Amino acid sequence: MPALASHRKPRTRVRTTAPAVGLTTAALASVTLLSTQSAMAAPDPKPGVEDVQKKVDDLYRQAGTATQQYNQAKEASAAQRAKVDALLDDVAERADKLNEARRTLGAYAAAQYRSGSITPSATFFLADDPQSYFDQSQLMDRMTSRQQQAITDFRTQQAKASKKRAEAVRSLETLTTTQSTLRTSKQDVQTKLGEARTLLSKLTAEEKARLAAIERKKEAEARRKAQELAKQQAAAKAEADRKADEAAKESGGGTGTGTGSDSGATTKAEKVLAFARAQIGKPYVWGATGPASYDCSGLTRAAWKAAGVDIPRTTWDQVKIGTRVATADLRPGDLVFFYDDISHVGIYKGDGMMIHAPKPGANVREESIYYMPIYGSVRPA
């Protein structure tokens, strides 16, 4: 007997994984949303006043470095422009000489044409490449010594003109590169100064007051160190004078008044300081050399020029001149350089103080040489 088919309905299987997946997705979405909200609710902490001051000082120093790069590129550009102009003048002069030589050759060719001897010497004169003809002894035998000299002069002027043209092209390429460096340095200065201004503009009135207090404390410490140096220098000078007086007495002479070279150096230093003092209150402007405004090395150069001494434009070149001197041995008129990259310079006035063009937004002023880290010092003359 055949088996009877079952009348029970097949059991429907219930999927239990789908709700679990949905739950997991929802949970992940919730976690992501909470994390995003947490990140949005906790922005980066605002930098403290001390951090802002450090950053601003660093930006000003970087701007000072970029300013020296700008000054260097500007000097190089001016020198290269003068060289290019001189070369172009030389090229024009040689072109005139070349044309004169060509006219002389043309005159000989015309004379030969009139006399009926146009071939082959006229062909030589009028050829684009006379060298191939020049080597033909048969043609040379038919020329007069004056004609041969005219050809020699033409070839000489042609070679010199070609050489000068090539030199002018190279100089123009160098000038283009230098001018590109000039533009880049200028942009670097403007960028750094813009960043510094932005940082300062975000400070509240209270934060600005705290920043000013930090500056006053820094200035006070620098003045204290300057006073210590002044005492040390005064003591050293007194001791040197005492020894000089004793030596003079022992030799039977009068008191020493110094050598002629010392007297000349003192006179120059006095002129340097007189000029520098007259600039106090004028604004710092990067790249400026006076008379209405200065950057640091522009001021030092102008001051020494007033004393009849021409020194280089940039701090990097100024530090290489004259005689290196220790801080303890500084005299009025000496140049004091700052930072490891030698991006700033001031004029020593005595008693641990200097006159300098500090930074954008500030005026030429007197300040302690200890306000910034000292790199070294030189005596230009």
Active site amino acids: 296, 344, 356
Residues 6+ positions from 196 with CB-CB distance below 8 Å? 56, 59, 60, 63, 360
Determine phi and psi for 116, rounding to 5 degrees.
85, 5
Element (H, E) at 169: helix 145-201
Interatomic CA distance for residues 86 and 28, integer angstroms: 76
Q: Enter the DSSP assignment of 371.
A: G
* Per-residue buried b or exposed e for 353-374, using 16+ beta carbons within 10 Å of the residue's own CB: bbbbbbbbeeebbebbbbbbee
Q: Enter the DSSP assignment of 145.
A: H
- Using DSSP's 3-state secondary structure scheme, residue 285 falls into coil
Integer-rounded Cα radius of gyration of the chain: 40
Amino acid letter for position 324:
R
CA distances from 234 to 229, 238, 312, 327 (A): 8, 6, 32, 14
First-residue to last-residue Cα distance in the chain: 133
Interatomic CA distance for residues 300 and 143, integer angstroms: 67
User: Count of H helices and E strands in the chain?
Assistant: 10, 6
Give how far the C-alpha of residue 137 lies from the chain's centroid of Cα atoms, to the nearest Å.
Answer: 60
Structure tokens at 140: 């040379």
Handedness of CA 173, 175, 176, 180 (dihedral sign): positive
Structure tokens at 49: 């006043």
Handedness of CA 185, 190, 193, 194 (dihedral sign): negative
